Amino acid sequence: MNCLMSWPEPVVRVQSLSENGIGTIPDRYIKPISDRPALKSEIHDHLDVPVIDLQNLFGKDPALHQETSRRISSACRDWGFFQVVNHGVSHELMKRTRAVWRDFFELPLEVKQQYANSPSTYEGYGSRLGIEKGAILDWSDYFFLNYLPVTLRNQSKWPAHPASCRELVAKYGAQVTKLCGRLLKAMSINLELKEDYLQNAFGGDEMGACLRVNFYPKCPQPELTLGLSSHSDPGAITILLPDPDVAGLQVRKGGKWITVTPFPNAFIVNVGDQIQVLSNAIYKSVEHRVIVNSEKDRISLALFYNPKSDLLIEPAKELVNEDRPTLYKPMTYDEYRLYIRMNGPCGKTQIESMKSNR
C-alpha cells in the first residue's frame, strides 16, 4: 500500500476555485467530448427510477409484503437503483445531518484543511479519487469517514466543528445501517436464499460501512465536466441522501443517462458490485455519474455498506448451475477496492475484469 501514501500532485479544492469567481474551468477538469453531459437533452420527464414504499416490507399483511418484495426484486434486476420511502430513518435526522455537513463545507478552508486526507485510507477532507498523475479530475470535494466496523471508527478524524457533527453522524449511521440490513434480507429472500444469507456472506456483524459526503460547487462551465465520473459502486449496497433542491445524479439505462428526480424524504438505493458478484449477475450494479450546474452548489451523503475487507466474495453456490455457470472469480473486497483507489471511477471496468474464464 506504499504506493498510496500521498497524492501525486498538490491538491486543489474545487470549492475554492468556484468561490474565486473563475469564468472558465482549468483544463484538469475538462472531460473528453464523449464523457461530457448533454445537460438539457438527458432529463427524461417520463422515466425515473422506481419509488418503493417500505412500510409493508416486514408488516403483517402477506400480500402487501409480497408486492413490496416483488418491486424491490424488479428494481434490482431492471434498474440497479430505486428510491425508498417509509424507510424507518427519521426525517428530522436526515435533514439535520445534511444541514450540518453543509455547514462544515462553509467553514474557512484552514479549518477544513485540518482533516486533509491521503490516498492510503481516503479518510478525511478530499478533492480527488485515484493517484494517476495528470488525471482529469472531477468537479467536487468530499469528506470520507469510516463508520463500521467499530474497530475502524475513529471519531477524532470526524469534524469537531460544527459541534453537533459527530453526534449526528453516529445517530445517522446507526439508523441507515439498520436500513441496509433490512434491504439485504429482502434481497436474500428474493434470490431464494435464506434471509440472512447476504449479510452473513458479507461478514455478518463485521460488515463495513463508510460515509462519503459529496460537495459539488457551482461550476461556470457545467457542460464540460462532471461532479463525479461514471462508475459503479464497489461495495454491497449504497444508501444516498440526495440534495432535495438540486438534481444531479444520473443513472445509465438503455444506453441513455437518466437524471434522477429526488422524491421527498426518500433515500436512493443502488446495488453495488459485490451484490452483482454474489448473485451471479441476477442483480446488477449500474453505472452512474453526477452532473453539476452553474446556479447552485449541491450536497449529498452516500453511505456504503461493504463486505468485511478480507473475505473472499464469489457467486453463491445456490445461484450457480449448468445454465448459469460461475461468472466471477473469487476476490477479497480489499483487493477489489484497491483498483478504484488507484485509478478513480472507471465505469464498470473493474467488475468486468473479474469475469471467470471457466
The whole-angstrom separation of Cα 180 and Cα 301 is 15
Sign of CA dihedral 218, 219, 222, 225: negative
**Per-residue pLDDT, 210:** 97
Q: What is the pLDDT of residues 164-187, one digit of tens each?
A: 999 999 999 999 999 999 999 999
**Per-residue pLDDT, 1:** 40
**Per-residue pLDDT, 357:** 59
Q: Considering the entire predicted model, what is its pTM?
A: 0.94
Sign of CA dihedral 235, 188, 149, 329: negative
**Per-residue pLDDT, 172:** 98
Q: Are 144 and 119 within 8 A, CB to CB?
A: no
Domain boundaries, the chain: 37-354
Task: Name the CATH architecture for the domain at 37-354.
Answer: Sandwich (2.60)
**Per-residue pLDDT, 41:** 47
One-letter amino acid of 342: M
Other Cβ atoms within 10 Å of 106 Cβ, number? 12
The whole-angstrom separation of Cα 268 and Cα 105 is 22
**Per-residue pLDDT, 2:** 42
Ranges of residues in the chain whose predicted pLDDT is under 70? 1-4, 39-46, 341-350, 353-354, 356-358
**Per-residue pLDDT, 42:** 52
The whole-angstrom separation of Cα 46 and Cα 89 is 29
b/e sequence 318-336, b meaning 16+ C-beta within 10 Å: ebeeeeeebbbeebebeeb
Q: Are 214 and 300 within 8 A, CB to CB?
A: yes
